[in-house]
Structure 1
């Protein structure tokens, strides 16, 4: 009887440790994922702020050129007009063109698929039956988890038989 109690206590401790470890791994993974998402968000915000800053400067320059062109259009001196107009109408070089891309270096879809698979596995395990077997009167009973009986032909065909 004492041996059975010790065996059962050891089994309880091992199961408790397994579930505690699983919870710990889930919490750590969630923490790392949140940190990674926040870092990516920060990078993308910094990029967007840089783009906005460049756009604001470009808008200021365009407004200034617009004002200068309006003033120039009122001038009566054709030579001054031609000399000044060409310097005001310089287009930016290709290197000055504004472009940026938002990158998604985390594959959230893959992560969701993996988490969904883990969730399904845990749901399946939670439906298993706990069976107690006694082989003889002198030994401690065996406690096992067994999947529920198949309820449909498809479930039956996917069963794994232990012989």
Structure 2
């Protein structure tokens, strides 16, 4: 009895450590992901602020040109108007056009898919049954974690050996 208690206590400690480690890894992954998102947010905000600053300067320049052109439009000297107007109305070259793109170092979509897959796996494991059985020749029972009995062909194929899956997929059309 004492040996069984010690063995079970050891098993409980191992399981507790495994779950504690799993929680720690999840928390670390979340912390790193949040840091990475915050860093990217900071970079994108700095980039956007730079673009806004350029736009504000461009707006100021356009306002000055607009005021000059309004003043110029009131002139009666047509030659002076044409000479001054052509120098004031210089269109920006293609290189001056403003472009702004948001970039990501990694794919948030890929990250969400991975987390979703991990969540589904943990949900499946949480539904597994704990079975206790004593094989012949052993005094102490063994405790195992087993998936629930499959209720459909698809569920059966999820847990089947890959070679069995191939057999079923090969023979799917055979009656």
> TM-score by structure 1 length?
0.89
What is the distance in 2 between the residues matched to 1:135 and 1:154? 31
Change (3 A) 1:66 1:23: same
Q: Tell me what 2:158 maps to.
A: 158
SS of corresponding position for 1:150: coil
Q: Tell me what 2:71 maps to.
A: 71
Q: Tell me what 1:97 maps to.
A: 97
What is the distance in 1 between the residues matched to 2:113 and 2:9? 36
Q: Tell me what 1:149 maps to.
A: 149
Change (3 A) 1:3 1:160: farther
Q: CA RMSD in A?
A: 1.8
Change (3 A) 1:39 1:157: closer
Alpha-carbon distance, 1:66 to partner = 0.9
Question: More relative contact order in 1 or in 2 (CA 8 Å, sep 6+)?
Answer: 1
Which 10-residue stretch deviates more, 90-99 or 38-47?
Answer: 90-99
What is the distance in 2 between the residues matched to 1:63 and 1:57? 10
SS of corresponding position for 1:132: strand
Alpha-carbon distance, 1:137 to partner = 7.6
2:54 is aligned with 1:18:
no
Q: How many residue pairs were aligned? A: 161
- Following TM superposition, where does structure 1 have runs of at least 4 consecutive aligned residues deviating by more than 4 angstroms? none
Alpha-carbon distance, 1:26 to partner = 0.6
What is the distance in 2 between the residues matched to 1:71 and 1:25? 69
Alpha-carbon distance, 1:145 to partner = 0.9
Q: Tell me what 1:140 maps to.
A: 140
Q: Tell me what 1:111 maps to.
A: 111
Please list every run of 5 or more consecutive structure 1 residues that lacks an aligned counterpart in the other structure.
none
What is the distance in 2 between the residues matched to 1:16 and 1:9? 10
Which 10-residue stretch deviates more, 13-22 or 135-144?
Answer: 135-144
Change (3 A) 1:77 1:157: closer
What is the distance in 2 between the residues matched to 1:86 and 1:10? 89
Alpha-carbon distance, 1:93 to partner = 2.9
Alpha-carbon distance, 1:98 to partner = 1.0
Q: Tell me what 1:125 maps to.
A: 125
